[in-house]
Amino acid sequence: MPLQVGSVLEGLVTGITNFGAFIQLPGGETGLVHISEIAEVYVRDVNEFLKQNDKVKVKVISVDPRGKIALSIKQAKPPAETAVTDRRGPQRKKFEPSFEDKLAKFLKESDERMQALKRNADAKRGGRGGPRRWD
């Protein structure tokens, strides 16, 4: 039975490498879950997330003509499970400010810095608009 791109299957972890994990699918085919497709968080070591003989749900991302099968664990999860997390663990949600919030913060800090620079420059010149002494 040929695999359909986009289908979600359950497979068995048969091998772990430093770049991903090999998953045996129903029907005897073997596919690769790349390290970037294992979890929503940064994966430094695959062994922290997967072990040999683990059963995992995977989504078929692509099947190339030579028979290589690309799989994803993080895309196989429902959208409710794929939340923004921080490095302390998958259960803690991280506050992610919007672009407008980031822009407003940047503009405020930039304005404060410019005012401090102007005050410093004015102090060195002796102020603005006052009478000039040419002794």
Domain ranges of the chain: 8-91, 96-126
CATH architecture of the domain 8-91 equals Beta Barrel (2.40)
**Amino acid 17: pLDDT:** 93
Burial class (CB in 10 A: 0-12, 13-18, 19+), 6: exposed
Residue 35 pLDDT greater than 80, yes or no: yes
Segment 109-118 shows an average pLDDT of 91
Residue 34 pLDDT greater than 70, yes or no: yes
Task: Choose the weakest-confidence range: 9-13, 56-60, 98-102.
Answer: 98-102
At 80, list the tokens: 């409710």
Phi-psi region of 25 (alpha: psi -120 to 50; beta: other; left: phi over 0): beta
Q: How does residue 101 score in pLDDT terms, banded at 50, 70 and 90?
A: confident
Q: How far is residue 5's CA from residue 67's CA, in Å, rounded to a whole number?
A: 13
Mean pLDDT of the chain: 83
- Cα separations in angstroms, 29 against 63, 67, 70, 84: 11, 9, 11, 32
129 CB-side CA count, 13 A: 0
Q: Are 82 and 74 in contact (CB under 8 A)?
A: yes
